[in-house]
Each structure stands twice: as structure tokens, then as C-alpha cells.
Amino acid sequence: MSTSSLLVLASFALLGCGAEHVSVVGSTILNGEVDREDTMVVAVERAGELCTGTLVAARAVLTARHCVAGQLDSSPKGGVVCGQTRFSAAVDAAEVRVSNAPDVKAAAGTWLSVRKVHVPVFDAFCGHDLALLELETPLLAVPSEVRRSGPVAQEIYAAVGYGATDESAKEYGVRRRRDGLSITCVGPKCGMKSVTPKEWLGPEGTCAGDSGGPAFDTAERVVGVVSRSLNGCAAIVYESSESDLAWLDESLAAIASEDPAVTVRAHGGCSIAELGTASEGPGGAAMVLSLATVLRSLSGRRSDQNRPRTCLRSSRRSKSQSAR
């Protein structure tokens, strides 16, 4: 039975996910670049804890379940134990908000409220660390496609997130991207109990605050969601994008059926929002990587981010540079 500590970075105190006690370790998208183009990647904030998520429909953000739910039956030190650790009920949606500002500390008043939190039926932590946030209003950005086929070892991907840059948490909340990462192994072929069949392992590159963030394949589809790390962020466990497609499709259909949706399409380098009728089609031991910090500058009023914008660029890059 393999365990290690949950990873939460706190500015003023040792804070946990739910009632858990955690150790403090800090990092970021190592050697990543400031990213102003991937506007579909959002910061997810709850009670001073910062995670990352990806817009996969006009009003739906895919993130890690541990960002919006506590954990039960963890190790005595708060670590995740596959086959033992499970999730408690998701928090009230009113406690969660999202923003796709490139720097959420410098962009007061750009947060969107969450209407409902959707989670899978099964409560086991490993292999079920996904959640879908239903937004109150559409986010005007081009949603990402969720890949419906499994990952392959040595496949190239990019990581994007809002994580902190060091243990002091003086620099955090800026969206960064790192290209040229390579999938280490997938599921049972990783040869360890801490990686389940629905997960895959990547190298260092993400850490505190990047939980829930996407791994983009070379076609810019979401192929994984950051779940937790091993050995102090030396290796990252990702939830596979196709681990629970039935739940994802059902949740996206439920969101789309409630009211007309804003469809966002790319046009001339800009994103054009169109009001249309919603359609019900397919939408497509370790350390948890949420960044728990008292974000004083983020505690201002929550206002809708539904004002028209001239040009919200969406990255559709496919860089081949090596991981640095």
C-alpha cells in the first residue's frame, strides 16, 4: 500500500482539503511560458484554494474532483491510498468560481459563478478524480474537445495551469504552459498500485495549483486531467480523459438541455459568440495538487464575465520542442 502526503500550498497556515492535514510543497509548470492564448483554461477557486480547469462546453468546466470535494479514509498523514481513499460529497456550487483571466490576481471582478457541481457516481479517489462545473453564464472562449481515445506511452503533450512558482506562493495565479512533455506510462504498464487502469503517468512539469489542469495532445484535445503527484512532484498522475465518458456525456447533455447555449466559434483569430438552441450530443500513494492559499486579492466581489470582448484568442498550437 503506497502513500504520501496530499499537496496543498498555504500562505499563512497549513490548510487541508476538507478536514485533512497536509504538507507544504510548492512548484509550478516548470520551465513553462506565460500563456495568454489558451483562454479555455481557467482558474478554479474555492475557499482560498486554487486549482485549474478546462472549458469543454460554453457553460461546462472540467476539473479535478478533489478541488471541489473532501477526502475520506486517507493515510494518517493525509495521503491518498488507492483502493482506500474515497471522496466525500461535493461542496455547494456557491462556494466555487472560475476565471479565464491570464493573471487572476491582477484581474479583479472577472470571476464567474458556478450553478452546479457534477461528479461521477463512484466515490473512489483513484480513477475517479473528475468533476464538471456547470457555470451560471457562458464563458466566451472556444471550448476544448475531450479526447475519446486512450493515451499512448511516449505520446507528446502540453500542460497548462495556474500553479505557484515556489513555496512562498508569492507568484501564483498566472496561466502558464509547457510543451514537449511525454507520457511515461499508462495504467497497469506503470507497474505501481498508485496508478490505476484509468490513469497515466507524466514527468515533472506541474505541481501545486495545477490540479484539474489539462494535458493537451498535439491536436489540442484534452487527453488527461492533473490529479496528484508522486515523490514531491517528480512524477504526475493524470486522470485519463476517456476514463468515464458515459458520465461526462450525460452531464454535458443535462447542462445543454436546460437553456439555450452560447456557441463559440473561431473566426479570423477571434472568438464569435452566437446564441443558439442547445443540442444534446456527446460533449465529449500520491499528493493532491490543489493550491490552498488565502488569496486576499481574489476575495473581491464576484461579477459575471459575460461582457462582450473584441477578440478572445484560442490557442491551437502544436509545439514540438523538447521538455526543458
Whether the predicted pLDDT of 20 surpasses 70? no
- Strands 7-8 and 287-292, how do they pair? parallel
Residues 7-254+284-298, CATH architecture? Beta Barrel (2.40)
More confident residue, 13 or 292: 292
Q: How many residues does the chain have?
A: 324
Q: What is the three-class DSSP state of 177?
A: strand
**Integer-rounded Cα radius of gyration of the chain:** 18
pLDDT tens digit sequence for 168-202: 556 778 999 999 999 999 999 999 999 999 999 99
- pLDDT for residue 17: 29
- Counting DSSP H helices and E strands in the chain, the numbers are 1, 20
Closest CA to 292 of 36, 2, 66, 41: 66
43, 35 Cβ separation under 8 angstroms: no
SS (H, E, C) 163-175: CCCCCCCCCCCEC
| Minimum mean pLDDT range among 24-38, 84-98, 141-155, 302-316 | 302-316
pTM score, whole prediction: 0.77
Rounded to the nearest 5 percent, the helix, strand and coil shares of the chain are: 10, 35, 55
More confident residue, 31 or 172: 172
Q: Measured between alpha carbons, how far is 211 from 234 in angstroms, rounded to an integer?
A: 15
Residues 74-100 as b or e (16 or more Cβ within 10 Å = b): bbeebbbbbebbbbeebbebeebbbbb
Give domain limits for the chain.
7-254+284-298
pLDDT mean across residues, the chain = 75
Write the single-letter amino acid at 300: G
- Strands 60-63 and 49-57, how do they pair? antiparallel
Q: What is the three-class DSSP state of 254?
A: helix
